[in-house]
Amino acid sequence: MNGEMGSRVIKEISKVRMEKELKNIEEENLPESDKKELRKKVKDKLSKTEISKLRMEVKIVMWKFYSENKSLLPDYVREFREEIIVELMKGESVEDVFDSYGGVTAPSSQLSGVAA
């Protein structure tokens, strides 16, 4: 599953879960102020869950690409693990992200300024 597709799937699942949770809140016999607070908590919780799931998915994609291309990647690419995860979570392709850190198709001119 590529990053963009995975992100859309996670968003759709989260949307359905959020709608269900919000419907349950509306059915409760609570004051409106309590319902408002509960709605906010549900949205915050699901947003954090979305991010967590996306991060996990991205780490799998990153590891698979790294494992398959390790011999072509510079050793120092491991130092940029967190930056690579963030870029993948933003929807960049795994090939483009690794290339920007001196990956398999990056010309040597891109490597200037990168610590070896």
Q: What single letter denotes the amino acid at residue 106?
A: A
Between CA 11 and CA 17 the distance in angstroms is 10
Between CA 54 and CA 87 the distance in angstroms is 12
Please give the pLDDT value at position 44.
Answer: 77
Please give the pLDDT value at position 108.
Answer: 41
Please give the pLDDT value at position 98.
Answer: 92
Q: pLDDT tens, position by position, for the chain (116 residues)? A: 444 555 555 566 666 777 788 888 888 888 888 888 888 887 777 677 777 888 898 899 999 999 999 998 998 998 999 889 888 887 788 999 999 988 766 444 343 344 33
Q: What single letter denotes the amino acid at residue 81?
A: R
pLDDT, averaged across the chain? 77
SS3 63: helix
* Residues 42/18, Cβ–Cβ less than 8 Å: yes
Listed by start position, the domains of the chain span 3-111
